[in-house]
């Protein structure tokens, strides 16, 4: 009987230590998951900000290229003389600081020949489907 009691006490102690280890591990996993979730949220925010900035820069590039094209057309339309600065049309657009403006100007629409982007078409289809329901 003494042997049985001793083994039982040993098993109870080992059970308690296992419970404590499991609780510690569970807490560590929770903390790790929370850290990963917050890091992912920060990365998603950064990604969205970069996407917005990219869109703004693309619009700005399109505006500048269209301005350059319009300017060269006007110069060529004046007469047969060569424009003073021929290289202006071939030089890349200067870097633009868009940190101050978050959204493009009201009249700044991309001057693309495409009617609508695939994303817009999908959105419109979804809206139509929702209206039908």
- Residue 111, SS3? coil
Task: List Cα–Cα distances, 133 to 26, 29, 120, 128, in angstroms.
Answer: 46, 44, 20, 9
Residue 100 belongs to a domain: no
14: containing domain: 1-93
Query: What local confidence, expressed as pLDDT, does residue 2 receive?
Result: 92
Residue 27 belongs to a domain: yes
Sign of the CA dihedral 22, 28, 32, 38?
Answer: positive
Residue 118 belongs to a domain: no
Residue 76 belongs to a domain: yes
Residue 99 belongs to a domain: no
Query: What local confidence, expressed as pLDDT, does residue 129 receive?
Result: 85
CA–CA distance, 51 with 47 (Å, rounded to integer): 6
- The reported pTM is 0.45
Query: What local confidence, expressed as pLDDT, does residue 79 receive?
Result: 55
The closest of 109, 129, 128 to 117, measured between CA atoms, is 109
Residue 107 belongs to a domain: no
User: Number of structural domains, the chain?
Assistant: 1
* Blockwise average pLDDT, block size 10, the chain, 133 residues: 93 97 98 97 97 97 93 74 51 53 51 70 87 80
Residue 109 belongs to a domain: no
Residue 126 belongs to a domain: no
Query: What local confidence, expressed as pLDDT, does residue 15 receive?
Result: 97
Angle value at C-alpha 68, between 110 and 85, nearest 5 degrees: 170
Query: What local confidence, expressed as pLDDT, does residue 123 receive?
Result: 87
Query: What local confidence, expressed as pLDDT, does residue 37 receive?
Result: 97
Query: What local confidence, expressed as pLDDT, does residue 117 receive?
Result: 84
């Amino acid at each position: 009987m003494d042997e049985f009691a001793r083994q039982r006490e040993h098993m109870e102690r080992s059970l308690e230590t296992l419970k404590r280890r499991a609780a510690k591990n569970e807490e560590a996993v929770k903390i790790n998951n929370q850290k990963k979730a917050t890091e992912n949220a920060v990365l998603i925010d950064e990604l969205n900000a970069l996407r917005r900035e990219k869109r703004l820069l693309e619009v700005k590039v399109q505006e500048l290229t269209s301005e350059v094209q319009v300017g060269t057309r006007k110069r060529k339309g004046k007469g047969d003389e060569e424009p003073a600065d021929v290289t202006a049309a071939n030089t890349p657009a200067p870097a633009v600081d868009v940190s101050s403006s978050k959204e493009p100007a009201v009249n700044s629409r991309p001057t693309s020949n495409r009617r609508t982007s695939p994303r817009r078409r999908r959105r419109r289809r979804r809206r139509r489907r929702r209206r039908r329901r």
